[in-house]
Amino acid sequence: MNPLKSIPMTVGLGFILAIVISVSLDHVGPGMPLWSLVTWLHVFFGIIWIGLLYYFNFVQVPGVAAALADKDGPGPSAINKYVAPTALFYFRWGALLTWITGAAALHYSGIGIHSAFVLQAGAEVIGIGAWLGTIMLFNVWGLIWPNQKRILGMVEATDAQIAKGKVVALMASRTNTLLSIPMLMCMSSHMHGLPL
């Protein structure tokens, strides 16, 4: 069986290859700090989360709008029935795992979660990034996901609830897109020691 025909096998092999490279470069083993592992996972899950955020905002939302406007086209039902639920699954769990591994990275880095969230001297940049990520996580689980379940018919909702849910989900998603830009700047500046 070709492992590239299965996404779990592809991702699993990607992790194995990364570990082999790290071991061969002497980056993994007894001397490897746990911080490196959780930071690696934080970046991995963050790419899933923010990649899907950008997919929703740059591709799916305009695509569904175009499908609705095309009177002779197939409409948005295929996206809403087959693509959106799967994308939302990876989106919301990617968000949660990004936040958890980010908190672990703060802990193991020596900065500490508390120091980051109170914007203690030396932790201001990463702290602002952590706050932005926390707000974004709340938007995913508290606003976007509950309203998407109504929009996609996963839970019962009236037409008025669905219409309101579309606005709330879109505004929360656009807020996350806006916040992701300074959040990524804070995270990358901190990780690479760039001055702000």
- Answer yes or no: do 18 and 44 share one domain: no
The whole-number pLDDT of residue 162 equals: 96
- Answer yes or no: do 19 and 46 share one domain: no
- Answer yes or no: do 97 and 176 share one domain: yes
- Answer yes or no: do 6 and 88 share one domain: no
- Answer yes or no: do 101 and 11 share one domain: no
pLDDT truncated to tens, each residue of the chain (196 aa)?
Answer: 898 999 999 999 998 998 787 767 665 555 456 678 888 899 999 999 999 999 999 999 999 888 888 888 887 888 888 899 999 999 999 999 999 999 999 998 889 999 999 999 999 999 999 999 999 999 999 999 999 999 999 999 999 999 999 999 999 999 999 999 999 999 988 766 655 5
- What's the farthest any 2 CA atoms get from each other in the chain? 62
Any residues with CB less than 8 A from the CB of 149 and at least 6 apart, and which? 155
- Answer yes or no: do 88 and 107 share one domain: yes
- Answer yes or no: do 18 and 46 share one domain: no
- Answer yes or no: do 16 and 60 share one domain: no
- Answer yes or no: do 93 and 41 share one domain: yes
The whole-number pLDDT of residue 93 equals: 98
Q: How many domains does the chain have?
A: 2
* Domain hosting residue 177, numbered range: 34-192
- Answer yes or no: do 80 and 22 share one domain: no
- Answer yes or no: do 55 and 85 share one domain: yes
The whole-number pLDDT of residue 27 equals: 56
| pTM to 2 decimal places | 0.88
The whole-number pLDDT of residue 37 equals: 80
- Answer yes or no: do 25 and 115 share one domain: no
